[in-house]
């Protein structure tokens, strides 16, 4: 098949990583894959791909979120329509609202006949424009896919759309517990000097529950004065400045200092992120809304005990023997789990029981499921 996969960014968020790993697995399965992505800085994904990459230029955008999304959709339409004048594909697959809206418009213009969209999660937008964009991105595709039972159910309840579930995976060549000389370099570069090290990936934003995590860390720190919390990642379309401001005010109140007890390295290159996982003692992810939680599986593949919110979708693929579940709105419970995860017996048990997940969730298995669903669109 000639397959076009579309994603809204080159920065490593869940759906972007899903796109790249799926593209690689489909390529290794013998298909011709092209990845299209909005590229703001013309730097690409920061990794080499075995398939073709087509950057879509993304210009500086206004701070108003409605206008920003509108501009990004138009940039996708412009870039793709130019490319599709000389190239066609059997499958067009959008991984997000922006690229799905672009494909819906391009289909109206006659550039394509059908397209697929993966709904990783559904947002509760206040803006009428954003709600209409999300609705169109879900109603218009010929096929919607989901990555979890929870969002599969939510999609049916909210839109009456029965979306088949496709799995996520983990790249075990990238994420491993085997130490690398790069690990020491990363620790030095990021200022990781304390012990133990707690790590989360996703940045400072409401759905990552960063405020409650900071409160929990402050409590854990009373027993662990030399500990550090690393909050990596954070690239996003949305401006969470008010939440970030609240976070930094809270840090002062909790007597937590950025650059000392709290480290904020931002978005990291692929190899550096792998090393960062191996530099930590526990991965903590008390998120209140996730499509699935790829970073949890990456942490497990890196040999870490994990702490996650006791809610879907985490409860779909993790058991109490494989992770420590916590109530995301209870900082004291989170802090207690942080301390428990450091106990040698607990950590070893979690690591041993969670390793079986790595056999279950592979990108090759995910690609095989996608191909089955693609075939349904190609049949007369």
Over residues 82-95, the pLDDT tens digits come to: 999 999 999 999 99
Q: Give me 127's structure tokens.
A: 């803006």
Does the structure show a pLDDT above 70 at 110? yes
Model pLDDT, residue 271: 85
Residue among 61, 105, 97 nearest 79 (CA) = 105
Give the pLDDT mean for 138-158: 97
Domain 2-169+362-378 of CATH type 3.40.50.2000: yes
Q: Which residue has the tokens 């990555």?
A: 147
Contacts of 288 (CB under 8 A, 6+ apart): 206, 207, 208, 209, 309, 311, 328
CA atoms of 75 and 78, how far apart (whole Å) = 5
Whole-number percent of the chain with pLDDT over 90: 92
Over residues 48-94, the pLDDT tens digits come to: 899 999 999 999 888 899 999 999 999 999 999 999 999 999 999 99
Model pLDDT, residue 317: 96
Model pLDDT, residue 11: 87
Does the structure show a pLDDT above 80 at 322? yes
CA atoms of 168 and 170, how far apart (whole Å) = 7
DSSP assignment letter at 174: T
Q: Which helix (H) or strand (E) holds 73?
A: helix 65-83
For the chain, give every domain's residue range.
2-169+362-378, 181-360
Model pLDDT, residue 273: 94
Beta bridge partners of 306: 283
**Residues 340/296, Cβ–Cβ less than 8 Å:** no
Model pLDDT, residue 380: 62
Give the pLDDT mean for 313-332: 98
Least confident piece of the model among 34-48, 75-89, 234-248: 234-248
**Residues 77/108, Cβ–Cβ less than 8 Å:** no
Q: What are phi and psi of 88, to 5 degrees?
A: -130, 165
Phi-psi region of 43 (alpha: psi -120 to 50; beta: other; left: phi over 0): alpha
Does the structure show a pLDDT above 70 at 107? yes
Over residues 279-300, the pLDDT tens digits come to: 999 999 999 999 999 999 999 9
Question: Angle at the Cα of 297 (from 37 to 157), degrees rounded to 5?
Answer: 70
CA atoms of 167 and 361, how far apart (whole Å) = 7
- Angle formed by the axes of helices 294-301 and 14-28, nearest 10°: 70
**Which option is the CATH number for 181-360: 3.30.70.3340, 3.90.1280.20, 3.40.50.300, 3.40.50.2000?**
3.40.50.2000
Residue among 132, 124, 164, 42 nearest 289 (CA) = 124
CA atoms of 95 and 291, how far apart (whole Å) = 12
Concatenating the DSSP letter of every residue in 230-275 gives EEE----SS--HHHHHHHHHHHHHHT--BTTTEEEEES--HHHHHH
């Amino acid at each position: 098949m000639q397959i076009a996969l579309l994603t809204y960014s080159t920065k490593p968020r869940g759906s972007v990583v899903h796109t790249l790993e799926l593209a690689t697995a489909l390529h290794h399965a013998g298909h011709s894959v092209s990845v299209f992505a909005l590229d703001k800085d013309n730097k690409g994904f920061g990794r080499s791909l075995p398939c073709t990459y087509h950057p879509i230029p993304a210009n500086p955008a206004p701070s108003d979120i409605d206008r920003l999304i509108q501009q990004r959709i138009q940039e996708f339409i412009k870039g793709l329509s130019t490319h599709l004048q000389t190239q066609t594909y059997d499958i067009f697959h959008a991984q997000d609202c922006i690229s799905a809206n672009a494909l819906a418009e391009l289909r109206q213009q006659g550039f394509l006949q059908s397209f697929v969209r993966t709904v990783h999660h559904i947002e509760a937008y206040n803006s009428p424009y954003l709600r209409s964009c999300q609705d169109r991105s879900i109603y218009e595709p010929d096929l919607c896919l989901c990555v979890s039972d929870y969002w599969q159910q939510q999609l049916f309840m909210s839109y009456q759309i029965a979306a088949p579930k496709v799995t996520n995976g983990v790249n075990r060549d990238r994420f491993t517990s085997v130490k690398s000389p790069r690990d020491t370099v990363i620790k030095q570069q990021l200022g990781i000097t304390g012990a133990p090290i707690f790590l989360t990936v996703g940045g400072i934003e409401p759905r990552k529950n960063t405020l409650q995590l900071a409160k929990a860390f402050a409590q854990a720190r009373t027993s662990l004065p030399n500990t550090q919390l690393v909050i990596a990642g954070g690239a996003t379309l949305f401006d969470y400045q008010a939440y970030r401001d609240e976070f930094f005010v809270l840090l002062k109140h909790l007597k937590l200092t950025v650059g000392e007890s709290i480290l904020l390295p931002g978005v990291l290159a692929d190899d550096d992120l792998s090393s960062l996982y191996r530099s930590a003692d526990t991965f903590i992810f008390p998120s209140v809304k996730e499509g699935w939680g790829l970073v949890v599986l990456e942490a497990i593949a890196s040999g870490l005990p994990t702490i996650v919110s006791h809610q879907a979708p985490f409860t779909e693929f993790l058991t109490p023997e494989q992770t420590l579940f916590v109530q995301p709105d209870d900082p004291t419970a989170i802090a207690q789990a942080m301390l428990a995860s450091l106990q040698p017996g607990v950590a070893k048990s979690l690591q041993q029981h969670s390793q079986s997940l790595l056999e279950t969730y592979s990108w090759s298995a995910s690609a095989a499921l996608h191909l089955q669903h693609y075939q349904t669109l190609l049949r007369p």
